[in-house]
A and B are shown apart, each in its own frame.
Chain A
Amino acid sequence: MSSEAGSDGSKPDRSGTEWGDRARAGLARLVEASAFERALISLAALVLSIAIGALVILAAGRTATCETAATTYFGYGFCYDPFRVYDRLFLGALGNPINPLFDPLHGNFAAPFTEGWTPFNDRLAYTLTETTVLVLTGLSVAVAFKAGIFNIGTQGQMVIGGLASTLVMLALVPVFTGLATVALLPIGIVVGAVFGGLYGAIPGALKAYADANEVITTIMLNFVASSVALYLVREQFKDPDSFSTKTNDLPAGVEFPQLLYAQNTAFSVVALLFVLALVAATYYLLRHTSFGYDLRTSGLQAAAAEYGGVNSARTIVASMTISGALAGIGGTVYVLMYYGYFQPPVPSYGFDGITVAILAGNNPVGVVPAAFLFGVLKSGAISIQTDPNVTIPIQLVGVLRGLIILFVAMPEFFRLVGKRFTDAGRRSREGGSRVADAVRSDGGVAGGETDE
């Protein structure tokens, strides 16, 4: 089947010279190409989720009561205008780069960018702060997924990692005084990685040695982590001078250096670069090392991995440890960038990490754009909140998150749509697998190759 696809490429034009035919053939080929297909499906899922989200917004706008309708469609007034909501959500998160007067569709060719807009604005800074944490949690989930493990516990591992590193750093403050305070940052990151990793290793070991379903155990451990964190902060390590349930503040020197962006924003370019380096390291680990080969093989076909000499139990524990470590670093980075102290509850970065990883097709590099998208969604939610003209509840973002996962989970749907669109029924995927199986049941030939 792959050879056929290949020959399609070398003979671009068989049936006709019409542009449409060629475009359709190209599209059909794209739909079959695996890596590209994934990206396409993610994009389609996103678009579809946004479309359905718009319907939800309209429906919500009929249910809610407001003094003046935000918009009117088909003669009905709605309290929320999806276009304005999405405008806030997406452009607000970037600091409003587009000039409202720029409207080429209506012949208004004003300058496309808002005057005075720079990529170093505060809103984008917030978006990138979110992105930085989300890259880590997304990476955490993706690594486990690659090994065939559903780590829903990134959230809990993040909580444990973030709390542990905060407490250790606080405890070491008297030791590292003066200039040595700088050393606390790397120590904190290592401690976060270790504790997150250990907390991730628990469900890994339970899966490897007791066959306990990791989806359930990790979800349970999330509840345990948040309760334990709440207890420790409230009962043992509470900041006595504060009314809120939080730990003591870390000293001023313990933070990622801030460059390019305003001091009052939480964002640090150094932190982002550090996280991007971790992405590169993860990619290298998965793609270019023996361990990465073991991990990917286990994820795709556990029996084949064991056959190939992979110790599956050890690989499961190791992958979960790495996954937990990344989540733990995520917790530490979250604490350091945002507050400089630990305060439960930690926002649901771990669950967003699942979406990020699924949207990225578990590709470590793909995690970066997917995390940015979610950074935009979360930051955009704040823009919505702060805009008095858009009053929609920000839980909308949670709905969008669920919808995106749902649609990414059903590639077959988009394949069907794509197939109908490209009229490529002749080499339908379903038919292909059917013939493969049909003939295989008769004995040998799989995959529709007939040259023997």
Chain B
Amino acid sequence: MSEATADAGSGESTLGNTDGRLLIAGGVVGAFALLFVVGTLFPDSTVGTLSYLLLQPGPWSSMLTLAVPITLAAVGGIFAEKSGVINIGLEGLLIISAFTAIFAADTTGSLWVGFGAAILASVLLALVFAVVCIEFRADQIIAGLAIWLIALGFAPFAARIVYGSPNTVSLTNSVPAVRHAGIPVVSPVFQTLSTTNALGPAQALFRASPSVYLMFGVVALGWYLLNRTNFGMWVRASGENPKALDTSGVNVHRVRYAAVLLSGVFAGMGGAALSYNIGQFTGSGQTMVNGKGFIAIVAYLFGNYNPVGAMLSTFLFTLLEAIQNPLQTAGIGVPSDLIGTLPYIGVIVVLALVGRTRIPEAAGDHYETGEDR
């Protein structure tokens, strides 16, 4: 049947989605423009305060920092899902790596070792997920939930054993030092210029923590891997029509393993960045990850499986979160509990508007060589 509808002019096929996305992107830009215009005209109004706040580096800086774990997990999720394995366990990978980073850094005293250990832990958990899904044909959704729940139980469990509480100790000495490291040479220039408010966002960009630049790097790398290398081609083919890949002589299982493990690598970086930013892992309730892995999934769906798109949609969510505190301080606003729900409601609205994202044809399906569909 896929052939049947294929020739009926599918140029428009993706247009519907693109429309929805463009609409939202345009809406956001328009809203900002309106905000600044009104804010300039009426500096004493609520809108004025808001536009003033948005010219400060603060919210933008928070936006970038908050986006790091989500974007990194999203790029990982793109690879897994493009290869045909829906990795709903990203949340679990973030939790396990956020804990491991602090634990290993605390034990060894080296942030680098902690970073590496976080990636390793996340990759190992991703490997469990991959084996269960690819080798034992588990339902990907259920297995992904299991990965989440295992990490959700294990990280606080381990924290309790090591630190006697679901939260770890705080790494005090080294983390805050790198938080606003920025880029050598370039950043100091911006620092001197930063007296003007209009450059607030730019200052946020150039005085960010290394993890923010890591995020930009991973997004670029992810895009390149996916679109320009043969591995990326195999990943895409494996998710769209694994049989085509198999009959071309490429081992589908191997490609899917690689893609899922890669999602572990990226999510591991994200988890480490998350806990490093605070300097501590907090494991009570939903842990400090608190749904970021799920927002990552929405981010890449909304970003149409494009790493750049995923990052931009992440910014949309994290900006909502980032302006909470300034709003609170400025005295406008709604109780923090309710503002806190904004990103989640935003996710739902976005999902409802672009619900019909074209997911890879074979995503969620098992594949066995020699099996005809």
Contacts and interface: CB of A to CB of B under 8 A. Distances in A.
Interface residues of A, number: 57
A228 B341 contact: yes
Nearest to B153: A398
A224 interface: yes
A60 interface: yes
A9 interface: no
Residue of A60, A212, A398, A411 with highest tally of chain B CB at under 10 A: A212
Interface stretch (B132-140, B168-176, B183-191, B195-203): B132-140
Interface string A181-223: 0000000000000000000000000100011110111011101
Contact of B156 (A212, A395, A413, A430): A395
B157 A221 contact: no
B137 A393 contact: no
A206 B166 CA distance: 36
A213 B294 CA distance: 12
Contacts, number: 161
Interface in B146-186: 146-154, 156-158, 160-162, 166
Contact of B335 (A235, A358, A433, A437): A235
A430 B301 CA distance: 33
Residue of B148, B290, B337 with highest tally of chain A CB at under 10 A: B337
Residue of A393, A408, A413, A434 with highest tally of chain B CB at under 10 A: A393
B24 interface: no
- Interface bracket on B: 35 or more
A46 to B, nearest CB: 14
A228 B339 CA distance: 10
A401 interface: yes
A406 B132 contact: yes
Contact of A63 (B141, B161, B298): B161
B160 A395 contact: yes
B154 A402 contact: yes
A13 interface: no
B317 to A, nearest CB: 11
Interface in B85-139: 88, 128, 132, 135-139
Q: Per DSSP, are chain A's interface residues mostly helix, strand or loop, or mixed?
A: helix
Contact of A354 (B145, B147, B290): B145
A218 to B, nearest CB: 10
B102 to A, nearest CB: 15
Contacts of B353: 210
Contacts of B294: 216, 219-220
Contacts of A384: none
B341 A223 contact: yes
A351 interface: yes
B299 to A, nearest CB: 11
Q: Per DSSP, are chain B's interface residues mostly helix, strand or loop, or mixed?
A: helix
Nearest to A234: B337
A351 B153 CA distance: 12
Contacts of B370: 434, 438
Contact of A405 (B145, B297, B348): B145
A403 B147 CA distance: 8
B372 A401 contact: no
A40 to B, nearest CB: 16
A345 B284 CA distance: 12
B137 A437 contact: no
B337 A406 contact: no
Contacts of A63: 158, 161-162
A302 interface: no
Interface in A403-446: 403, 405-406, 408-413, 416, 430, 433-434, 437-438, 440-441
B132 A410 contact: yes
Contact of B152 (A227, A228, A402, A412): A402
B338 interface: yes
Interface in B313-362: 335, 337-338, 340-341, 344-345, 347-348, 351-353, 355-356
A64 B157 CA distance: 11
B285 interface: yes
A72 to B, nearest CB: 19
B291 A223 contact: yes
Interface of A: 56, 60, 63-64, 150, 152, 206, 210-213, 215-217, 219-221, 223-224, 227-228, 230-231, 234-235, 345, 351, 354-355, 358, 392-393, 395-403, 405-406, 408-413, 416, 430, 433-434, 437-438, 440-441
10 contacts: A212-B348, A216-B298, A219-B291, A223-B286, A223-B344, A227-B338, A401-B149, A402-B148, A409-B146, A440-B372
Q: Which 6 A-B pairs have the closest CB atoms?
A: A398-B153, A402-B150, A393-B160, A402-B149, A211-B355, A231-B337
